[in-house]
Amino acid sequence: MKAALALTLSAAAFTVATLAANQPAAAQDAMASAAQGIVSAVQPVHVKAKIVGIDPGSRTLTLQGPGGNAVVVLVSQQVAGFDQLKVGDRVDVLYKNALLVKADKVTGKDNGIRKRVDTQVYEPASGGFEAARQIEVLATVQKIDHKHRLVTLRGAYQRQTLEVGPDVDLKGVKVGDTIHAVFVSAAAVQVTPQ
């Protein structure tokens, strides 16, 4: 049995299209287990930011930080007051940064074609389930910071800096390479209007 795992992530300035992916139910379970372990292992980051985009359907915020960088975060169902947030609001956010979990160098005919597939998985949480978004993308490596384990990718719709997971080896990857990257998106655990 196959289940369509298509999601639309249309946060301002970042996501403008939807790609669909069909996967067997067993793959969904494996993905949910992997996402649960990954999301729970990431340490939260604290930032004061301005809301530059809101997508109520996917419950995401596009935040612009003090350095001008923007990040899309999935807002937890446990975060109260999501419906009262507006574009332009300044907020204090505690979130788990996006984490790169797989990076494979791409060779051959797909080398220059960027694409993106978003998949939402659910993990157990107090009071129900918590969502995590796994994203697969063909992207170009723009910067690698081996010391801080960060990589900046330019994908189909955006440029994003990701933390590199402990199991990901970037030794064979260099700036300018096209890679098939899989990462778990940023998730807000607390949003406080200022």
The domain containing residue 39 runs over which residues?
Answer: 2-193
> Domain count of the chain?
1
The DSSP H or E segment spanning 40 is helix 25-41
**Average per-residue pLDDT in the chain?**
73
8 A C-beta contact, residue 129 and residue 122: yes
Q: Tens digits of per-residue pLDDT, 47-96?
A: 899 999 999 988 889 999 888 888 888 888 878 899 999 999 999 998 87
CATH number of the domain that residue 113 is part of: 2.40.50.320
- Torsion (CA) 121, 27, 36, 180 in degrees, nearest 10: -90
The residues facing 134 across adjacent strands are: 119, 184
Q: Tens digits of per-residue pLDDT, 107-117?
A: 766 555 555 56
Band (pLDDT 50/70/90 cuts) for residue 9 is very low
CB-count exposure of residue 130 (10 Å: 0-12, 13-18, 19+): buried
Q: Pinpoint the alpha helices (H) of the chain.
A: 25-41
Percent of the chain with pLDDT over 90: 23
Please tell me the distance from the alpha carbon of residue 139 to that of residue 105, in angstroms, as a whole number.
Answer: 10
Please tell me the distance from the alpha carbon of residue 118 to that of residue 9, in angstroms, as a whole number.
Answer: 8
